[in-house]
């Protein structure tokens, strides 16, 4: 039986607009911009490659817009009237799209006075009538009207950038209605890009709600009469004609003449000419190589093994860097060597020594670098010049033959001189992990570079739609090398069937492990030069790079916790929650899961009938702290009990239970893992467990801090910056009165209260404090009003007063936003960049969110830079003072925690205070002093 034909219709014009914004501004050898064309070419390549695969194309055609005029201009003269002209360097790429399509020997359809959407609709319906399946390669919302099935023939869509199929479910998810009603929704909401009016003031949410409720456009418009008085009702009545006109405009024509027959769209193997000529002309050399390697053409790939779906494509670089495409050969895992003799290992070490640069990666038995065993080490000296040295494979099955491998101690002894050699640079990806593993195996490593940190310092925050912004190796390989790495999952499986890396056969393990080193080496070549050209050298070399071994050591130190004390607290909390639960059930008159916000909402606002329940977008009542506090204030006895229950349940599950489990059996201490690339502003983050959110704000929670203790004869010392972010704001925004207040050591919130309200008392100081923080976070009158419990108008008046009193603040905000809009990133005093790709978004909420984050980032980020500088300098300074035995254990954003003999407190305090207070110098000289508060005690709680 012949396979059912499957027609792919590519919406070419729409694609290149998206590709243009997503890809770097590449140019071909003649200087013609070809970034979007490159993206388009790789997309066609992939589609052609899918010939005869499940759901792949048997027929393929590209539809282009010849002109933007159509029948719609006849009935509505303003149709698409306010479209901005396309970007200058996109214009010369339009004709190249046609060239690219012809290069693939594919039909390219463009008709005068017919829009691509209508042509696509006409072809799709015709194919469907003949019983074919159709996939429209586009993400245009207008085309979603076509999705669905008729007589077993289906039309779906494919968004190649997000690699997502769009079918009925996805359409319903987006519009809240089935595809056939999408036109009705579009008619109500309009489209500012195409200048379709819709109903003024009605957006996608309201539009889909109305259509879903009333079943259709006419019914929704008719229903307006019967609605209660509202803005919406008035508008539906007033703009009815606009909506009806819009309905016609958004309707796709399905009866266009078809200039090419469906049969002529049959997809065959793509002939290598004229494709090769086209690729050569525009400098797409990696694709050209691939074409030659593949004996002539893409398509007809029967190789579905994901391990072999290697690509040699150029980078689809979301990060928007302007580097040339990398000139490396495609990753070829068959070139990797499995090193199984000491002779071979020594040969590699010698070559690494000569090369002066080696990428290194370790493989281990688990993700916990404080507990795992070392299973192997891989090295890379160049592209496809990599090896894997297995050291701990086999062993779980005593009867199976153990693979041949070098003795671990002997191998480490052979590698140690190389790893410690100052003249040989060791490049890692997330080196902190490997440093800890190697340190636990008695091997020190220096000097170190880290491609994960480099990526972060270049591209923090740079993620765009559908493209991750992370700094993981697999993601960076895709983004910068166009290469898909083997995944750990593919190798070891997942869930219950997962096997440890040590049980992976050596040939497979070599492919995976050596690839990681190979990719790290390539990423280093690609990313390191960008630091210099993009201004990242300072922050990388002076702050983040030297921080890696410092943080690694802090993690290895860990901190002692008093297990018995935590266990007692757990029991106490368990008893209390059980008691509260009974009381809550008694008041409610029903047994329910107190921990389920869903059930709780029903109990509060239905069973017990309390008023003022608000449902969020998921249709669930909100029962968060603010709601429960309001209810409690209004005299609901159950609310206070629930609040108390919540607090205790949280403390038990997140802290007293979890921390006991986090104690490392080998060291008896808790070792967190800090991420140096977790927070876009440059802060660290802490996981497994998170030691940056241990309770302190409530008395009951503070007991948990008492369980973090010092060793016998030692104390914990906590040193924290006082009001560092406000101090930095005073400096950066240049506010004389605030700077003076800090210089005088005044209470800053009290000073603000005097400036704002003329007097200071508990109330005005509290308000001033709230306003001060609001400023740091990017303010809105609604947000401030909500916090202060006043109307937005009143909040706005306060903001105005604040800006009047401290005009520098407003100037800072305006200047910062202008700069971010212009350059795309914000910058700290030390030159750390954070990117804000959504700062120009048309979506107001999204844009304003970016704006608030952009106002905050330089302040939060500068504070992060300062404490990082202090951390880097801390141990050398202590050592110089004969205090090298003092251990730095924790960092909590503006606080450092140390462990030291009680006798050394005075001497260490002096050094710590000096290093922290002077951490900005000499790179930056602040107009405000940095205050440091220090406390000591046998527990962390007592040190505050």
Partner DNA sequence: GAAATCACG
Partner DNA sequence: GACGTACGTGATTTCC
Q: Which of residues 209-248 bind DNA (CB under 7 A)?
A: 231-232
Query: What is the x/- site pattern for DNA, positions 145-184, by CB under 7 A?
Result: ----------------------------------------
Q: What are phi and psi of 720, to 5 degrees?
A: -130, 145
With a CB cutoff of 8 Å and minimum separation 6, the contacts of 718 are 895, 896, 897, 898, 934, 935, 936, 940, 943, 944
Residue 824 is a binding residue for DNA (CB under 7 A): no
With a CB cutoff of 8 Å and minimum separation 6, the contacts of 558 are 370, 664, 667, 669, 670, 671, 672, 889
Measured from the CB atom, the residue of 211 and 857 that comes closer to DNA is 857
Mutual angle of helices 182-189 and 240-250, in 10-degree steps: 130
For residue 586, give both structure tokens: 């008694």
Judged by CB under 7 A, the number of residues near DNA is 80
Alpha-carbon span 158 to 905, nearest angstrom: 65
Among 342, 574, 696, 750, binds DNA (CB under 7 A): 696
Measured from the CB atom, the residue of 181 and 683 that comes closer to DNA is 683
Q: How far is the CB of 866 from DNA (least distance, A)?
A: 12
Neighbours of 794 (CB within 10 A): 14
450, 476 in Cβ contact below 8 A? no
Give the interface segment with DNA, choosing from 55-63, 349-357, 364-372, 889-897 (CB under 7 A).
889-897
Among 56, 394, 678, 937, binds DNA (CB under 7 A): 678
Which neighbouring-strand residues pair with 408?
Answer: none
Q: How far is the CB of 766 from DNA (least distance, A)?
A: 11
Measured from the CB atom, the residue of 587 and 776 that comes closer to DNA is 776
Residue 323 is a binding residue for DNA (CB under 7 A): no
Measured from the CB atom, the residue of 262 and 643 that comes closer to DNA is 643
Measured from the CB atom, the residue of 696 and 905 that comes closer to DNA is 696
Q: How far is the CB of 682 from DNA (least distance, A)?
A: 9
Among 197, 198, 689, 808, binds DNA (CB under 7 A): 689
- Name which of residues 779 to 798 contact DNA (CB under 7 A): 779-780, 782-784, 786-787
Q: How far is the CB of 525 from DNA (least distance, A)?
A: 28
Among 67, 130, 396, 698, binds DNA (CB under 7 A): 698
870, 854 in Cβ contact below 8 A? no
Q: What are phi and psi of 707, to 5 degrees?
A: -85, -10
253, 71 in Cβ contact below 8 A? yes
Whole-Å CA distances, 835 to 606, 614, 827, 884: 46, 35, 9, 39
Measured from the CB atom, the residue of 408 and 767 that comes closer to DNA is 767
Q: How far is the CB of 234 from DNA (least distance, A)?
A: 10
Beta strands 133-137 and 153-159: pairing type? parallel
Q: How far is the CB of 170 from DNA (least distance, A)?
A: 14
Beta strands 448-450 and 374-382: pairing type? unpaired
Give the interface segment with DNA, choosing from 118-126, 346-354, 693-701, 908-916 (CB under 7 A).
693-701
Residue 33 is a binding residue for DNA (CB under 7 A): no
Q: How far is the CB of 938 from DNA (least distance, A)?
A: 19
Q: How far is the CB of 20 from DNA (least distance, A)?
A: 24
Alpha-carbon span 419 to 407, nearest angstrom: 18
Polymer length in residues for the chain: 944
Alpha-carbon span 734 to 807, nearest angstrom: 9
Residue 463 is a binding residue for DNA (CB under 7 A): no
Whole-Å CA distances, 80 to 19, 67, 84: 21, 12, 9
Q: How far is the CB of 768 from DNA (least distance, A)?
A: 11
Q: How far is the CB of 783 from DNA (least distance, A)?
A: 3
Q: How far is the CB of 690 from DNA (least distance, A)?
A: 4
Query: What is the x/- site pattern for DNA, positions 828-847, by CB under 7 A?
Result: ----------------xx--
Element (H, E) at 292: helix 285-293
224, 233 in Cβ contact below 8 A? yes
Residue 930 is a binding residue for DNA (CB under 7 A): no
Q: How far is the CB of 316 from DNA (least distance, A)?
A: 22
SS3 category, 136: strand
Which neighbouring-strand residues pair with 898?
Answer: 717, 888
Among 170, 475, 688, 740, binds DNA (CB under 7 A): 688
Neighbours of 884 (CB within 10 A): 11
Residue 658 is a binding residue for DNA (CB under 7 A): yes
Measured from the CB atom, the residue of 522 and 683 that comes closer to DNA is 683
- Name which of residues 893 to 922 contact DNA (CB under 7 A): 893-895
Measured from the CB atom, the residue of 150 and 626 that comes closer to DNA is 626
For residue 219, give both structure tokens: 């019914």
Measured from the CB atom, the residue of 98 and 209 that comes closer to DNA is 209
Which neighbouring-strand residues pair with 302?
Answer: none
Q: How far is the CB of 788 from DNA (least distance, A)?
A: 8
Residue 432 is a binding residue for DNA (CB under 7 A): no
Dihedral, 379, 380, 386, 388 alpha carbons, nearest 10: 10
Element (H, E) at 915: helix 905-917
**DSSP classification of residue 191:** B
With a CB cutoff of 8 Å and minimum separation 6, the contacts of 435 are 428, 445, 448, 548, 549, 552
Among 53, 129, 205, 413, binds DNA (CB under 7 A): 205
Q: How far is the CB of 857 from DNA (least distance, A)?
A: 7
Measured from the CB atom, the residue of 90 and 799 that comes closer to DNA is 799
Residue 202 is a binding residue for DNA (CB under 7 A): yes
Q: How far is the CB of 720 from DNA (least distance, A)?
A: 7
- Name which of residues 596 to 655 contact DNA (CB under 7 A): 596-599, 601, 616-618, 620, 622-625, 628, 643, 646-647, 649-651, 653-654
Residue 679 is a binding residue for DNA (CB under 7 A): yes
Q: What would you report as the CA-atom Rg of the chain, rounded to the nearest whole angstrom?
A: 32
Which neighbouring-strand residues pair with 615?
Answer: 621
Q: What are phi and psi of 603, to 5 degrees?
A: -60, -45
Q: How far is the CB of 850 from DNA (least distance, A)?
A: 8
The stretches of 150-225 forming alpha helices (DSSP H) are 168-175, 182-189, 204-214, 217-223
- Name which of residues 728 to 787 contact DNA (CB under 7 A): 770-771, 773-775, 777-780, 782-784, 786-787
Give the interface segment with DNA, choosing from 33-41, 306-314, 509-517, 594-602 (CB under 7 A).
594-602
Measured from the CB atom, the residue of 177 and 438 that comes closer to DNA is 177
Residue 569 is a binding residue for DNA (CB under 7 A): no
Among 97, 157, 694, 871, binds DNA (CB under 7 A): 694
Q: What are phi and psi of 259, to 5 degrees?
A: -70, -25
Measured from the CB atom, the residue of 445 and 670 that comes closer to DNA is 670
867, 679 in Cβ contact below 8 A? no
Q: How far is the CB of 336 from DNA (least distance, A)?
A: 30
Whole-Å CA distances, 37 to 143, 228, 321: 23, 53, 17
Residue 484 is a binding residue for DNA (CB under 7 A): no
- Name which of residues 848 to 887 contact DNA (CB under 7 A): 848-849, 852-853, 856-857, 860
DSSP string, 317-343: -TT---PPPP-PPPP-GGG-EE--SHH
Q: How far is the CB of 371 from DNA (least distance, A)?
A: 15
Give the interface segment with DNA, choosing from 195-203, 217-225, 291-299, 804-812 (CB under 7 A).
195-203
With a CB cutoff of 8 Å and minimum separation 6, the contacts of 9 are 61, 63, 120, 123, 124, 134, 135, 136, 137
């Amino acid at each position: 039986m012949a396979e059912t034909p499957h027609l792919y219709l590519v919406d070419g014009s729409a694609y290149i607009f998206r590709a243009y914004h997503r890809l770097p501004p590449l140019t071909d050898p003649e200087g013609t911009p070809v970034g979007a064309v490159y993206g388009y070419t790789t997309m066609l390549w992939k589609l052609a490659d899918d010939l005869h695969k499940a759901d792949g194309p048997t027929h393929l055609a590209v539809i282009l817009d010849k002109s933007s005029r159509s029948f719609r201009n006849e009935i509505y003269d303003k149709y698409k009237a306010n479209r901005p002209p396309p970007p200058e360097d996109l214009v010369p790429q339009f004709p190249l799209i046609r060239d690219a399509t012809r290069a693939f020997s594919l039909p390219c359809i463009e008709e005068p006075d017919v829009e691509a959407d209508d042509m696509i609709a006409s072809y799709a319906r015709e194919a469907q009538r003949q019983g074919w399946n159709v996939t429209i390669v586009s993400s245009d919302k207008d085309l979603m009207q076509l999705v669905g099935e008729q007589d077993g023939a289906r039309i779906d869509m494919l968004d190649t950038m997000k690699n997502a199929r769009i079918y009925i479910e996805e359409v319903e998810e987006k519009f809240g209605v089935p595809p056939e009603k999408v036109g009705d929704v579009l008619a109500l909401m309009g489209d500012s890009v195409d200048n379709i009016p819709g109903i003024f003031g009605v957006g996608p949410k309201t539009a889909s709600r109305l259509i879903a409720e009333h079943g259709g456009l006419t019914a929704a418009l008719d229903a307006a009469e019967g609605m209660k008085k509202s803005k919406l009702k008035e508008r539906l009545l007033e703009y009815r004609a606009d909506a009806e006109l819009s309905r016609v405009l958004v309707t796709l024509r399905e009866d266009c003449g078809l200039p090419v027959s469906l049969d002529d769209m049959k997809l065959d193997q793509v002939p290598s000419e004229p494709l090769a000529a086209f690729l050569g002309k525009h400098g797409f050399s990696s694709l050209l190589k691939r074409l030659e390697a593949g004996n002539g053409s893409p398509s007809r790939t029967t190789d579905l093994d994901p391990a072999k779906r290697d690509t040699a494509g150029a980078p689809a670089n979301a990060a928007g860097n302007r580097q040339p495409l990398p000139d490396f050969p495609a990753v070829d895992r068959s070139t990797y060597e499995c090193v199984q003799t000491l002779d071979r290992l020594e040969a590699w070490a010698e070559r690494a020594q000569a090369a002066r640069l080696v990428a290194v990666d370790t493989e281990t038995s688990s993700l916990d670098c404080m507990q795992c065993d070392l299973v192997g080490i891989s090295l890379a000296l160049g592209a496809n010049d990599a090896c894997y040295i297995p050291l701990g494979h086999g062993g779980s099955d005593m009867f199976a033959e153990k693979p041949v491998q070098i003795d671990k101690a002997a191998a480490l002894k052979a590698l140690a001189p190389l790893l410690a050699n100052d003249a040989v640079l060791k490049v890692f990806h997330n080196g902190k992990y490997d440093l800890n593993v190697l340190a636990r195996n008695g091997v020190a490593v220096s000097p170190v570079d880290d491609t994960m940190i480099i990526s972060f310092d270049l591209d923090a925050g740079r993620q765009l739609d559908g493209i991750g912004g992370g700094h993981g190796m697999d993601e960076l390989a895709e983004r910068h090398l166009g290469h898909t790495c083997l995944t750990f999952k593919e190798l070891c499986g997942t869930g219950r069937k997962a096997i440890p890396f040590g049980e992976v056969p050596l040939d497979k393990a070599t492919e995976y492990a050596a690839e990681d080193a190979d990719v790290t080496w390539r990423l280093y070549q690609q990313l390191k030069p960008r630091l210099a050209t993009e201004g990242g050298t300072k922050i990388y070399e002076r702050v983040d790079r030297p921080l890696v071994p410092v943080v690694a050591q802090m993690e290895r130190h860990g901190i002692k916790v008093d297990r018995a004390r935590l266990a007692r607290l757990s029991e106490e909390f368990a008893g209390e929650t059980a008691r509260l639960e009974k009381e809550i059930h008694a008041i409610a008159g029903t047994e329910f899961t107190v921990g389920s916000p869903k059930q709780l909402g029903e109990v509060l606002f239905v069973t017990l009938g309390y008023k003022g329940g608000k449902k969020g977008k998921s249709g669930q009542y909100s029962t968060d702290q603010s709601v429960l506090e309001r209810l409690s204030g209004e005299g609901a006895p159950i609310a206070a009990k629930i609040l108390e229950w919540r607090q205790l349940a949280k403390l038990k599950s997140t802290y007293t239970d979890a921390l006991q489990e986090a104690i490392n059996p080998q060291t008896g201490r808790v070792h967190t893992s800090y991420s140096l690339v977790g927070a876009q502003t440059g802060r660290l983050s802490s996981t497994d467990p998170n030691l940056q959110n241990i309770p302190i704000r409530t008395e009951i929670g503070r007991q948990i801090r008492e369980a973090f203790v010092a060793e016998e004869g030692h104390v914990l010392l906590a040193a924290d910056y006082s009001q560092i972010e406000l101090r930095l704001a005073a400096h950066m925004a240049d506010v004389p009165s605030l700077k003076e207040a800090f210089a005088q050591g005044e209470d800053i919130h009290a000073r603000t209260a005097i400036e704002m309200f003329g007097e200071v008392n508990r109330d005005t100081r509290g308000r001033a404090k709230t306003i001060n923080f609001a400023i740091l976070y990017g303010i809105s009158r609604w947000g401030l009003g909500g916090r202060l419990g006043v109307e937005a108008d009143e909040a706005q008046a306060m903001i105005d007063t604040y800006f009047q009193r401290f005009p520098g603040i407003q100037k800072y905000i305006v200047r910062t936003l202008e700069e971010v809009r212009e350059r795309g990133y914000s910058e700290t005093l030390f030159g750390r960049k954070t990117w804000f790709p959504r700062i120009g978004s048309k979506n107001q909420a999204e844009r304003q969110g970016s704006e608030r984050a952009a106002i905050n980032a330089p302040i939060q980020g500068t504070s992060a830079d300062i404490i990082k500088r202090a951390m880097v300098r801390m141990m050398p300074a202590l050592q110089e003072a004969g205090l090298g035995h003092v251990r730095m254990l924790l960092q909590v954003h503006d606080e450092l925690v140390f462990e030291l003999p009680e006798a050394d407190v005075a001497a260490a305090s002096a050094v710590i205070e000096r290093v922290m207070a002077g951490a900005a110098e000499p790179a930056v000289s602040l107009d405000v002093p940095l205050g440091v508060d220090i406390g000591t005690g046998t527990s962390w709680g007592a040190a505050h």
